[in-house]
A and B are shown apart, each in its own frame.
Chain A
């Protein structure tokens, strides 16, 4: 029987504020309180609350990751969302997925730093939800053979990554595979995922409007055992507003799938009941970001690389928490200067509207951090 897995990534960064040079050495308050609260409140009301209630009310199975930087912000301004998540996980129908607390790029430059951030998050999830995850989703699906060994070492059983064009030219993404380290490997079906996350409310799309019956038929016609639909949690209510019909779509989808005898499940539960289709080696680093599906969304230009190297150089310091919040991938994402269509996505998320300002504020802050906290 074919199954469908929804995986949702819930994450909001602590955005840094426009930090002026004349504050260096004087002001160590780096984060943009008003902006972060404004965005978070919007997302809470448009997505986190209604969507989590939706999951509970509809007994909707899915796997979710919630970044540590999001959880700590939710605890500060609205713990209702956390209570809803608790209720959802308590029902046993959903799965909580692990990652780095800081939603960082640590896995690509320092495995001991990576391990530490994963463990901080595990401790955090244990305290809040009393759950130890068995499935791991690295920041923005960043993955390679080497990284899979590290994830395995940390005790995880399952891992998610992107079904890139190169991979799916050789392997059908709609099966469960094994990583070289022996983890169960799930590949995102990017076309069917993006139909919901990017195209659902695009009226210029030739399949617009997308209804549950049509989409269920596409899934039915797709060969394989498991369809991996991985996307931002904010897809529901935030990137696609309630008015687009996204919640109704999700409500009717399980019913339409049932007509084809297709069920929803979680990664954990699928992995427990199925066997791997074979081992896949992915020796270069991939991700789900931009058209390139590599690290170029965060480290594609000189601004990003200089800022990243500068951050790393401050590793001996007296405030690891702040230093790690400054590792959150979004800070580098805002510095992207790609000219093509992906840049529109970067700009949509960029609170400074300019990659150059993102860089200037970030490096100003690092200069203060160096003076204030470094040995």
Chain B
């Protein structure tokens, strides 16, 4: 049986970022139709069972979050990629599927060595991760290499597709957009009263790319007119102290930092909030938008949040336009009907995004090569 070799990086429950969630949900489904082998870095205590084969790559180094700003991180990735090439077994492998730049060096060498077709998925680019501030040339070069050698490029939104066309001159005919999805079983909330809770939510890492600063700016503008409204930031990150500082006198009165929250807590916050705001500066997709919608929350998203392009039942603004975002928040606070219609229709719309759909769309790409 022909196999698909996946070059991965993270796999829940370890290091569950968007890439990890995607990897687990996608291949749990595709494993029903193809033999899947996933290469990931070796963990010390690995005892989970997956519906696909997991191949651990030992590269004798300490494991770091792929998005940390640790200066050694680049060297770590290089070490992982070298080990990947050495450990790779081409027997029966008909297709390689590599995810993000952290696997592209190995992907290009494996493709060249064994002449196996290569599909890559771009979950984010260096331009997104840097929030357009000081993107690293050496990482962009690796992304460029991956895009050049890949036979098909999957992006998670047309927003990212356009970035690839513009910044990497990627060939348009190679690119396929396949949207991410949401685990409705984890977030869906059947009934909500839509009575006012005076709770506005941000949920995501506190990094410049995700735009929490614009959430705090919005909070300050709204709090001046509506002092009873609470703005909650759920998530941790390097911007925390800076954000607390700019919150000023509104800190602990209107603006609250929850820190890291569990999935259960996230669902509770989604289901209570009067608005969920994602003011991302550059977000390829934004799974949290679908999570919030699945829980019935009204959503305000920045235009630079990929998933927004596929949604009708949300409000949209430029990430920097906190005057407008604040106006939307006020309208939501003032009008129950707006909360209810956005929330309920948004929930129905979010239900269309399932990992089954994502897997079937990916299967269509695989079929070209298998």
Give chain A's interface residues, CB within 8 Å of chain B: 20-22, 301-303, 305-307, 337, 339, 354-357, 359-360, 363-364
**Could you give, for residues 314-328 of chain B, a 1 whenever the CB lies within 8 Å of some chain A CB and a 0 otherwise?**
010000000110011
- In the assembled complex, the Cα of A339 lies from the Cα of B335 at a distance in Å of 22
Question: What is the minimal beta-carbon distance from A197 to any residue of chain B, in angstroms?
Answer: 26
Q: Find the residue from B315, B330, B335, B348 having the highest chain A CB count within 10 A.
A: B335
Question: What is the minimal beta-carbon distance from B139 to any residue of chain A, in angstroms?
Answer: 37
Known: A307-B337, A356-B342. 4 other contacts (CB 8 A): A20-B327, A21-B331, A303-B335, A356-B313
Asked if B205 CB lies within 8 Å of chain A CBs, one says no
Contacts of B345 in A (CB 8 A): 337, 339
Asked if B272 CB lies within 8 Å of chain A CBs, one says no
Question: What is the minimal beta-carbon distance from A7 to any residue of chain B, in angstroms?
Answer: 34
Chain A residue at minimal CB-CB distance from B194:
A302
Taking a contact as CB atoms closer than 8 A, the residue among B334, B341, B348 that contacts A303 in the complex is B341
B327:A302 contact, CB within 8 angstroms: no
A302:B312 contact, CB within 8 angstroms: no
B331:A363 contact, CB within 8 angstroms: yes
Contacts of A305 in B (CB 8 A): 337
**Total count of chain B residues near the partner, CB < 8 A:** 19
Contacts of B323 in A (CB 8 A): 22
**Could you give, for residues 327-369 of chain B, a 1 whenever the CB lies within 8 Å of some chain A CB and a 0 otherwise?**
1101100111110111001001000000000000000000000
- In the assembled complex, the Cα of A360 lies from the Cα of B338 at a distance in Å of 8
Q: Can you list 17 A-B contacts with CB-CB less than 8 angstroms, sorted by A residue number?
A: A20-B324, A20-B327, A21-B330, A301-B341, A302-B337, A302-B341, A303-B335, A303-B337, A306-B335, A306-B336, A337-B345, A354-B312, A356-B315, A356-B342, A357-B315, A359-B337, A359-B341
Chain B residue at minimal CB-CB distance from A361:
B331
Contacts of A363 in B (CB 8 A): 331, 334-335
Question: What is the minimal beta-carbon distance from B337 to any residue of chain A, in angstroms?
Answer: 4
- In the assembled complex, the Cα of A290 lies from the Cα of B340 at a distance in Å of 23
Chain B residue at minimal CB-CB distance from A357:
B315
Question: What is the minimal beta-carbon distance from A301 to any residue of chain B, in angstroms?
Answer: 6
Chain B residue at minimal CB-CB distance from A21:
B327
- In the assembled complex, the Cα of A305 lies from the Cα of B345 at a distance in Å of 16
B336:A302 contact, CB within 8 angstroms: yes
Question: What is the minimal beta-carbon distance from B159 to any residue of chain A, in angstroms?
Answer: 18
Taking a contact as CB atoms closer than 8 A, the residue among B336, B338, B348 that contacts A356 in the complex is B338
- In the assembled complex, the Cα of A339 lies from the Cα of B315 at a distance in Å of 18
Contacts of B330 in A (CB 8 A): 21
- In the assembled complex, the Cα of A21 lies from the Cα of B313 at a distance in Å of 21
Contacts of A303 in B (CB 8 A): 335, 337-338, 341
Question: What is the minimal beta-carbon distance from B193 to any residue of chain A, in angstroms?
Answer: 13
Chain B residue at minimal CB-CB distance from A302:
B337
A306:B315 contact, CB within 8 angstroms: no
Question: What is the minimal beta-carbon distance from A327 to any residue of chain B, in angstroms?
Answer: 18
Contacts of A354 in B (CB 8 A): 312, 315
A355:B341 contact, CB within 8 angstroms: yes
B331:A360 contact, CB within 8 angstroms: yes
Contacts of B335 in A (CB 8 A): 303, 306, 359, 363
Chain A residue at minimal CB-CB distance from B328:
A360
- In the assembled complex, the Cα of A303 lies from the Cα of B335 at a distance in Å of 8
Q: Find the residue from A306, A307, A356, A359 having the highest chain B CB count within 10 A.
A: A356
Contacts of A301 in B (CB 8 A): 337, 341
- In the assembled complex, the Cα of A301 lies from the Cα of B341 at a distance in Å of 8
Question: What is the minimal beta-carbon distance from B76 to any residue of chain A, in angstroms?
Answer: 45
Contacts of A337 in B (CB 8 A): 313, 341, 345
- In the assembled complex, the Cα of A305 lies from the Cα of B330 at a distance in Å of 19
- In the assembled complex, the Cα of A73 lies from the Cα of B327 at a distance in Å of 31
- In the assembled complex, the Cα of A47 lies from the Cα of B312 at a distance in Å of 31
Q: In chain B between 197 and 246, which residues have their CB closer than 8 angstroms to a CB of chain A?
A: none
Chain B residue at minimal CB-CB distance from A335:
B341
Chain A residue at minimal CB-CB distance from B330:
A21
- Take A337-B345, A339-B348, A354-B312 as given contacts and tell me if A359 and B338 are in contact as well, using a CB distance cutoff of 8 Å: yes
Question: What is the minimal beta-carbon distance from A297 to any residue of chain B, in angstroms?
Answer: 15
Contacts of B315 in A (CB 8 A): 354, 356-357
Question: What is the minimal beta-carbon distance from B297 to any residue of chain A, in angstroms?
Answer: 14
Contacts of A359 in B (CB 8 A): 335, 337-338, 341
Contacts of B337 in A (CB 8 A): 301-303, 305-307, 359
Contacts of B336 in A (CB 8 A): 302, 306
Question: What is the minimal beta-carbon distance from A148 to any residue of chain B, in angstroms?
Answer: 32
- Take A359-B338, A360-B338 as given contacts and tell me if A22 and B327 are in contact as well, using a CB distance cutoff of 8 Å: yes
Contacts of B327 in A (CB 8 A): 20-22, 360
Question: What is the minimal beta-carbon distance from B312 to any residue of chain A, in angstroms?
Answer: 7
Contacts of B313 in A (CB 8 A): 337, 356
- In the assembled complex, the Cα of A94 lies from the Cα of B330 at a distance in Å of 51
Contacts of B324 in A (CB 8 A): 20
Q: Which 4 A-B pairs give the minimum distances between C-beta atoms?
A: A302-B337, A306-B337, A21-B327, A303-B337
- In the assembled complex, the Cα of A359 lies from the Cα of B338 at a distance in Å of 8
